[in-house]
Chain A
Amino acid sequence: MTGEGPGITGDDDDASLVRPFLHDESGAAEPADPLDLAQAPVRPFLVTSGRTKGALDIPIEAQVVATPRGRGASRSLAFEYRDIVNLCDEPLAVAEIAAKLSLHLGVTRVLIGDLQHHGLVDTYQPEVDVTEDVEIILRVIDGLRQRS
Protein backbone atom coordinates (compact mmCIF):
# COMPACT_ATOMS: atom_id res chain seq x y z
CA MET A 1 0.00 0.00 0.00
CA THR A 2 2.98 2.27 -0.33
CA GLY A 3 2.72 2.95 -4.03
CA GLU A 4 2.84 6.47 -5.33
CA GLY A 5 0.14 8.44 -3.71
CA PRO A 6 -2.69 9.38 -5.96
CA GLY A 7 -2.71 12.93 -7.22
CA ILE A 8 -5.73 15.10 -7.13
CA THR A 9 -7.54 12.67 -9.31
CA GLY A 10 -8.89 9.44 -8.03
CA ASP A 11 -7.43 6.22 -9.24
CA ASP A 12 -8.89 4.44 -12.17
CA ASP A 13 -10.20 1.84 -9.79
CA ASP A 14 -12.77 4.38 -8.87
CA ALA A 15 -14.40 4.19 -12.26
CA SER A 16 -17.22 2.17 -10.82
CA LEU A 17 -18.09 5.02 -8.53
CA VAL A 18 -19.59 7.26 -11.15
CA ARG A 19 -22.49 8.93 -9.53
CA PRO A 20 -25.85 8.05 -10.86
CA PHE A 21 -27.03 11.54 -11.59
CA LEU A 22 -24.36 11.99 -14.17
CA HIS A 23 -25.78 9.17 -16.15
CA ASP A 24 -28.94 11.19 -16.35
CA GLU A 25 -27.01 14.07 -17.70
CA SER A 26 -25.70 12.13 -20.62
CA GLY A 27 -28.96 12.72 -22.37
CA ALA A 28 -28.86 16.43 -21.81
CA ALA A 29 -25.20 16.92 -22.53
CA GLU A 30 -24.09 17.12 -26.09
CA PRO A 31 -22.17 14.06 -27.02
CA ALA A 32 -18.72 14.84 -28.23
CA ASP A 33 -18.52 15.13 -31.97
CA PRO A 34 -17.01 11.99 -33.45
CA LEU A 35 -15.57 13.94 -36.35
CA ASP A 36 -13.48 16.08 -34.11
CA LEU A 37 -12.63 13.19 -31.93
CA ALA A 38 -11.04 11.49 -34.89
CA GLN A 39 -8.63 14.37 -35.31
CA ALA A 40 -7.87 14.94 -31.72
CA PRO A 41 -4.42 13.86 -30.65
CA VAL A 42 -5.94 13.46 -27.25
CA ARG A 43 -9.02 11.41 -27.39
CA PRO A 44 -11.60 12.86 -25.11
CA PHE A 45 -13.90 10.49 -23.44
CA LEU A 46 -17.56 10.59 -23.98
CA VAL A 47 -18.92 12.67 -21.22
CA THR A 48 -20.17 9.93 -19.04
CA SER A 49 -17.96 7.05 -19.91
CA GLY A 50 -16.39 6.02 -16.70
CA ARG A 51 -15.29 9.23 -15.15
CA THR A 52 -13.71 8.67 -11.87
CA LYS A 53 -14.90 9.70 -8.51
CA GLY A 54 -11.90 11.92 -8.22
CA ALA A 55 -12.84 13.93 -11.25
CA LEU A 56 -16.37 14.41 -10.04
CA ASP A 57 -15.21 15.52 -6.67
CA ILE A 58 -13.39 18.55 -7.99
CA PRO A 59 -14.73 21.35 -5.82
CA ILE A 60 -16.63 24.03 -7.67
CA GLU A 61 -14.19 26.63 -6.43
CA ALA A 62 -11.09 24.63 -7.41
CA GLN A 63 -8.77 26.59 -9.68
CA VAL A 64 -8.19 25.25 -13.16
CA VAL A 65 -5.15 26.23 -15.23
CA ALA A 66 -4.17 25.04 -18.67
CA THR A 67 -0.85 23.27 -18.78
CA PRO A 68 1.71 24.14 -21.43
CA ARG A 69 0.77 20.90 -23.10
CA GLY A 70 -2.86 21.87 -23.02
CA ARG A 71 -2.15 25.24 -24.57
CA GLY A 72 -0.16 23.58 -27.28
CA ALA A 73 -2.90 21.10 -28.03
CA SER A 74 -5.88 23.38 -27.70
CA ARG A 75 -6.34 23.92 -31.41
CA SER A 76 -6.82 20.27 -32.02
CA LEU A 77 -9.25 19.74 -29.21
CA ALA A 78 -12.94 19.50 -29.74
CA PHE A 79 -15.47 22.10 -28.76
CA GLU A 80 -15.86 22.50 -25.05
CA TYR A 81 -12.48 20.99 -24.32
CA ARG A 82 -10.83 23.67 -26.40
CA ASP A 83 -12.98 26.37 -24.85
CA ILE A 84 -11.97 25.32 -21.39
CA VAL A 85 -8.27 25.15 -22.18
CA ASN A 86 -8.39 28.56 -23.86
CA LEU A 87 -10.28 30.06 -20.97
CA CYS A 88 -7.86 28.74 -18.39
CA ASP A 89 -4.82 30.70 -19.38
CA GLU A 90 -5.40 32.33 -16.04
CA PRO A 91 -6.61 30.29 -13.09
CA LEU A 92 -10.39 30.08 -13.02
CA ALA A 93 -12.77 28.30 -10.71
CA VAL A 94 -14.75 25.36 -12.02
CA ALA A 95 -17.94 27.34 -11.45
CA GLU A 96 -16.57 30.30 -13.39
CA ILE A 97 -15.76 28.08 -16.33
CA ALA A 98 -19.26 26.61 -16.27
CA ALA A 99 -20.81 30.06 -16.17
CA LYS A 100 -18.63 31.56 -18.88
CA LEU A 101 -19.23 28.67 -21.22
CA SER A 102 -22.88 28.26 -20.29
CA LEU A 103 -22.29 24.69 -19.38
CA HIS A 104 -24.00 22.70 -16.70
CA LEU A 105 -21.80 22.51 -13.65
CA GLY A 106 -21.81 18.72 -13.61
CA VAL A 107 -20.84 18.50 -17.25
CA THR A 108 -18.10 21.07 -16.80
CA ARG A 109 -16.68 19.05 -14.00
CA VAL A 110 -16.55 15.92 -16.09
CA LEU A 111 -14.88 17.72 -18.97
CA ILE A 112 -12.30 19.22 -16.64
CA GLY A 113 -11.75 15.76 -15.21
CA ASP A 114 -11.05 14.49 -18.72
CA LEU A 115 -8.64 17.30 -19.47
CA GLN A 116 -6.89 16.79 -16.19
CA HIS A 117 -6.61 13.09 -16.83
CA HIS A 118 -4.79 13.85 -20.07
CA GLY A 119 -2.52 16.43 -18.52
CA LEU A 120 -4.02 19.34 -20.44
CA VAL A 121 -5.14 21.25 -17.39
CA ASP A 122 -4.14 21.21 -13.77
CA THR A 123 -6.66 21.70 -11.03
CA TYR A 124 -5.64 23.20 -7.75
CA GLN A 125 -7.48 23.00 -4.53
CA PRO A 126 -6.24 23.71 -1.06
CA GLU A 127 -4.24 20.83 0.32
CA VAL A 128 -5.51 21.67 3.73
CA ASP A 129 -8.97 22.27 5.03
CA VAL A 130 -9.31 26.02 4.68
CA THR A 131 -12.11 26.06 7.21
CA GLU A 132 -9.47 25.23 9.82
CA ASP A 133 -6.80 27.48 8.47
CA VAL A 134 -6.65 30.50 10.77
CA GLU A 135 -4.01 32.27 8.68
CA ILE A 136 -5.96 32.07 5.45
CA ILE A 137 -9.14 33.29 7.10
CA LEU A 138 -7.28 36.19 8.69
CA ARG A 139 -5.87 37.15 5.32
CA VAL A 140 -9.32 37.15 3.78
CA ILE A 141 -10.64 39.31 6.61
CA ASP A 142 -7.78 41.78 6.34
CA GLY A 143 -8.06 41.94 2.58
CA LEU A 144 -11.77 42.53 2.67
CA ARG A 145 -11.50 45.21 5.32
CA GLN A 146 -9.29 47.20 3.00
CA ARG A 147 -11.97 47.31 0.36
CA SER A 148 -14.26 50.27 0.27
Chain B
Amino acid sequence: MDSDSDPERRTLPRQRPPVPVKILVAGGFGVGKTTAVTTISEIAPLTTEAQMTSAGAGVDNGSLVPGKSTTTVAMDFGRITIDESVKLYIFGTPGQDRFGFMWRDLAHGALGALVIVDDRRLDDSFSAVDYFEGMGLPFVIAVNRFDGITIHDLPTIRWALAVDTGTRVIEFDARRFLSVRDAVLAVLEEALARARARRAARLASGAPPGPVDEGG
Protein backbone atom coordinates (compact mmCIF):
# COMPACT_ATOMS: atom_id res chain seq x y z
CA MET B 1 0.00 0.00 0.00
CA ASP B 2 1.83 3.09 -1.14
CA SER B 3 -0.56 5.38 0.52
CA ASP B 4 2.10 7.78 1.69
CA SER B 5 1.41 9.99 -1.26
CA ASP B 6 -2.05 10.66 0.07
CA PRO B 7 -1.57 12.62 3.26
CA GLU B 8 -5.24 12.77 4.15
CA ARG B 9 -5.76 9.11 3.95
CA ARG B 10 -4.33 7.86 7.19
CA THR B 11 -3.29 10.79 9.28
CA LEU B 12 -6.81 11.58 10.37
CA PRO B 13 -8.99 8.63 11.11
CA ARG B 14 -12.35 9.36 9.61
CA GLN B 15 -13.98 8.85 12.93
CA ARG B 16 -12.91 7.26 16.08
CA PRO B 17 -15.92 5.37 17.29
CA PRO B 18 -17.18 6.34 20.70
CA VAL B 19 -16.76 4.11 23.68
CA PRO B 20 -20.14 2.57 24.45
CA VAL B 21 -21.22 2.17 28.03
CA LYS B 22 -24.53 0.86 29.24
CA ILE B 23 -26.80 0.67 32.18
CA LEU B 24 -29.88 -1.46 32.59
CA VAL B 25 -33.36 -0.46 33.60
CA ALA B 26 -35.18 -3.36 35.15
CA GLY B 27 -38.37 -4.02 37.01
CA GLY B 28 -41.70 -5.77 36.72
CA PHE B 29 -44.10 -5.51 33.84
CA GLY B 30 -45.70 -2.12 33.40
CA VAL B 31 -43.60 -0.49 36.06
CA GLY B 32 -42.39 2.33 33.86
CA LYS B 33 -39.24 0.98 32.25
CA THR B 34 -40.21 2.02 28.76
CA THR B 35 -41.40 5.40 30.02
CA ALA B 36 -38.11 6.01 31.75
CA VAL B 37 -36.09 4.99 28.70
CA THR B 38 -38.27 7.20 26.48
CA THR B 39 -37.90 10.14 28.84
CA ILE B 40 -34.13 10.10 28.96
CA SER B 41 -33.20 8.91 25.49
CA GLU B 42 -32.07 11.44 22.92
CA ILE B 43 -33.45 9.24 20.17
CA ALA B 44 -36.87 7.69 19.89
CA PRO B 45 -36.48 4.51 21.87
CA LEU B 46 -35.71 1.49 19.80
CA THR B 47 -36.95 -2.01 20.24
CA THR B 48 -35.24 -5.18 19.27
CA GLU B 49 -35.96 -8.78 19.84
CA ALA B 50 -33.55 -11.07 21.53
CA GLN B 51 -33.27 -14.49 22.92
CA MET B 52 -33.60 -14.99 26.60
CA THR B 53 -33.07 -18.19 28.43
CA SER B 54 -36.04 -19.02 30.58
CA ALA B 55 -34.44 -20.75 33.47
CA GLY B 56 -34.56 -20.16 37.18
CA ALA B 57 -33.84 -16.72 38.51
CA GLY B 58 -30.88 -15.88 40.65
CA VAL B 59 -28.42 -18.09 38.88
CA ASP B 60 -25.29 -16.22 38.14
CA ASN B 61 -24.02 -18.47 35.41
CA GLY B 62 -25.67 -17.25 32.27
CA SER B 63 -23.93 -19.52 29.82
CA LEU B 64 -26.25 -20.92 27.29
CA VAL B 65 -26.49 -24.56 27.98
CA PRO B 66 -28.14 -26.81 25.42
CA GLY B 67 -31.50 -27.99 26.52
CA LYS B 68 -32.61 -24.86 28.26
CA SER B 69 -35.64 -23.38 26.67
CA THR B 70 -35.34 -19.93 25.23
CA THR B 71 -37.88 -17.21 24.70
CA THR B 72 -37.80 -14.31 22.35
CA VAL B 73 -38.53 -11.08 24.11
CA ALA B 74 -38.67 -7.47 23.07
CA MET B 75 -36.24 -5.03 24.59
CA ASP B 76 -36.45 -1.25 24.57
CA PHE B 77 -33.39 0.87 24.68
CA GLY B 78 -32.30 4.45 24.34
CA ARG B 79 -29.11 6.40 23.89
CA ILE B 80 -27.44 9.49 25.25
CA THR B 81 -24.39 10.83 23.47
CA ILE B 82 -22.23 12.09 26.29
CA ASP B 83 -19.66 13.60 23.98
CA GLU B 84 -17.96 12.63 20.76
CA SER B 85 -16.14 9.83 22.47
CA VAL B 86 -18.64 8.26 24.87
CA LYS B 87 -22.17 7.01 24.31
CA LEU B 88 -24.42 5.84 27.09
CA TYR B 89 -26.96 3.17 26.24
CA ILE B 90 -29.89 2.46 28.48
CA PHE B 91 -31.43 -0.94 28.04
CA GLY B 92 -34.82 -1.77 29.46
CA THR B 93 -34.70 -5.41 30.40
CA PRO B 94 -37.81 -7.49 30.16
CA GLY B 95 -38.70 -7.84 33.76
CA GLN B 96 -41.13 -10.67 34.07
CA ASP B 97 -40.13 -13.18 36.60
CA ARG B 98 -40.50 -16.10 34.25
CA PHE B 99 -37.61 -14.87 32.12
CA GLY B 100 -35.37 -15.25 35.07
CA PHE B 101 -33.06 -12.47 33.99
CA MET B 102 -30.75 -14.95 32.40
CA TRP B 103 -29.58 -12.41 29.97
CA ARG B 104 -25.88 -12.54 30.36
CA ASP B 105 -25.44 -10.46 27.26
CA LEU B 106 -27.20 -7.55 28.68
CA ALA B 107 -25.67 -7.56 32.11
CA HIS B 108 -22.13 -8.26 30.98
CA GLY B 109 -20.18 -5.04 30.91
CA ALA B 110 -23.04 -2.97 32.30
CA LEU B 111 -22.05 -0.22 34.70
CA GLY B 112 -25.08 -0.78 36.84
CA ALA B 113 -28.83 -1.08 36.94
CA LEU B 114 -31.84 0.94 37.92
CA VAL B 115 -34.54 -1.27 39.39
CA ILE B 116 -37.85 0.49 38.99
CA VAL B 117 -40.46 -0.34 41.56
CA ASP B 118 -44.18 0.22 41.62
CA ASP B 119 -44.91 0.27 45.30
CA ARG B 120 -48.36 -1.18 44.73
CA ARG B 121 -46.69 -4.29 43.38
CA LEU B 122 -43.41 -4.61 45.17
CA ASP B 123 -43.06 -8.31 44.58
CA ASP B 124 -42.68 -7.70 40.86
CA SER B 125 -39.25 -6.33 41.61
CA PHE B 126 -37.91 -9.19 43.67
CA SER B 127 -36.39 -11.08 40.78
CA ALA B 128 -34.47 -8.06 39.54
CA VAL B 129 -33.11 -7.31 42.99
CA ASP B 130 -32.14 -10.93 43.47
CA TYR B 131 -30.41 -11.10 40.16
CA PHE B 132 -28.34 -7.96 40.49
CA GLU B 133 -27.39 -8.81 44.03
CA GLY B 134 -26.33 -12.25 42.89
CA MET B 135 -24.11 -11.00 40.10
CA GLY B 136 -22.70 -8.13 42.12
CA LEU B 137 -23.88 -5.44 39.73
CA PRO B 138 -24.32 -2.03 41.38
CA PHE B 139 -27.98 -1.09 41.41
CA VAL B 140 -30.32 1.54 42.75
CA ILE B 141 -33.97 1.04 43.55
CA ALA B 142 -36.19 3.77 42.19
CA VAL B 143 -39.82 3.95 43.23
CA ASN B 144 -41.84 5.33 40.37
CA ARG B 145 -44.27 7.95 41.60
CA PHE B 146 -47.39 7.29 39.69
CA ASP B 147 -49.41 10.49 39.82
CA GLY B 148 -47.20 11.79 42.55
CA ILE B 149 -48.43 9.21 44.97
CA THR B 150 -46.45 6.58 46.76
CA ILE B 151 -48.27 4.29 49.11
CA HIS B 152 -45.34 3.24 51.23
CA ASP B 153 -42.51 5.35 52.49
CA LEU B 154 -38.98 4.51 51.46
CA PRO B 155 -37.90 2.77 54.66
CA THR B 156 -40.91 0.49 54.36
CA ILE B 157 -40.06 -0.28 50.77
CA ARG B 158 -36.46 -0.96 51.69
CA TRP B 159 -37.65 -3.33 54.38
CA ALA B 160 -40.13 -5.04 52.08
CA LEU B 161 -37.48 -5.58 49.41
CA ALA B 162 -35.00 -6.74 52.00
CA VAL B 163 -32.11 -4.77 50.57
CA ASP B 164 -29.23 -3.83 52.79
CA THR B 165 -28.58 -0.30 53.91
CA GLY B 166 -25.83 0.08 51.33
CA THR B 167 -28.37 -0.02 48.55
CA ARG B 168 -29.90 3.31 47.64
CA VAL B 169 -33.68 3.55 47.49
CA ILE B 170 -34.98 6.69 45.84
CA GLU B 171 -38.22 8.07 44.46
CA PHE B 172 -38.52 9.32 40.95
CA ASP B 173 -40.96 10.12 38.20
CA ALA B 174 -40.36 8.18 35.01
CA ARG B 175 -42.04 10.91 32.99
CA ARG B 176 -39.74 13.72 34.02
CA PHE B 177 -36.36 14.09 32.39
CA LEU B 178 -34.50 15.52 35.35
CA SER B 179 -35.96 12.93 37.63
CA VAL B 180 -34.87 10.05 35.40
CA ARG B 181 -31.52 11.70 34.85
CA ASP B 182 -30.92 11.90 38.58
CA ALA B 183 -31.91 8.28 39.00
CA VAL B 184 -29.43 7.29 36.29
CA LEU B 185 -26.81 9.46 37.96
CA ALA B 186 -27.42 7.59 41.20
CA VAL B 187 -26.65 4.33 39.39
CA LEU B 188 -23.52 5.82 37.87
CA GLU B 189 -22.35 7.02 41.25
CA GLU B 190 -22.66 3.49 42.54
CA ALA B 191 -20.71 2.28 39.53
CA LEU B 192 -18.07 4.89 40.22
CA ALA B 193 -17.75 3.84 43.84
CA ARG B 194 -17.23 0.26 42.78
CA ALA B 195 -14.69 1.16 40.13
CA ARG B 196 -12.76 3.22 42.65
CA ALA B 197 -12.84 0.45 45.21
CA ARG B 198 -11.52 -2.02 42.67
CA ARG B 199 -8.81 0.31 41.55
CA ALA B 200 -7.75 0.84 45.13
CA ALA B 201 -7.69 -2.89 45.66
CA ARG B 202 -5.59 -3.38 42.56
CA LEU B 203 -3.10 -0.76 43.63
CA ALA B 204 -2.92 -2.23 47.09
CA SER B 205 -2.14 -5.64 45.71
CA GLY B 206 0.57 -4.25 43.48
CA ALA B 207 -1.13 -5.39 40.33
CA PRO B 208 -0.59 -3.33 37.22
CA PRO B 209 -3.12 -0.57 36.82
CA GLY B 210 -6.05 -1.77 34.85
CA PRO B 211 -7.53 0.58 32.34
CA VAL B 212 -4.99 2.58 30.47
CA ASP B 213 -6.04 5.12 27.94
CA GLU B 214 -5.81 3.24 24.71
CA GLY B 215 -4.90 6.42 22.89
CA GLY B 216 -1.33 6.18 21.86
Contacts and interface: CB of A to CB of B under 8 A. Distances in A.
Contacts of B214: 127-128
Contacts of A69: none
Interface of B: 15, 17-22, 46-51, 64, 66, 70, 72, 75, 77, 79-80, 82-83, 86-89, 91, 105-106, 108-111, 177-178, 181, 184-185, 188-189, 191-192, 194-196, 198-199, 210-214
Given A132-B195, A135-B211, A141-B192, A62 B20 contact: yes
B64 A19 contact: yes
Nearest to A60: B105
13 contacts: A20-B66, A61-B21, A61-B109, A90-B15, A93-B87, A95-B75, A98-B48, A106-B50, A126-B20, A130-B211, A133-B210, A134-B196, A141-B189
A132 B198 CA distance: 7
Given A65-B17, A128-B211, A145 B48 contact: no
A63 interface: yes
A63 B192 contact: no
Interface string A106-148: 1010000000000000101111111111111111110111011
Interface footprint category on A: 35 or more
The 9 closest A-B pairs by CB, nearest first: A99-B46, A143-B82, A128-B211, A105-B50, A91-B17, A61-B20, A63-B17, A98-B48, A133-B211
A132 B109 contact: no
Interface of A: 19-21, 24-25, 59-63, 65, 90-91, 93, 95-96, 98-100, 103-106, 108, 122, 124-141, 143-145, 147-148
A98 B75 CA distance: 11
Contacts of B22: 61
B72 A104 contact: yes
A129 B211 contact: yes
A130 B48 contact: no
Given A63-B17, A105-B48, 19 more contacts: A59-B108, A63-B20, A65-B17, A99-B46, A99-B48, A129-B109, A129-B211, A131-B110, A132-B210, A137-B188, A139-B83, A140-B82, A140-B111, A141-B185, A143-B82, A144-B82, A144-B185, A147-B177, A148-B178
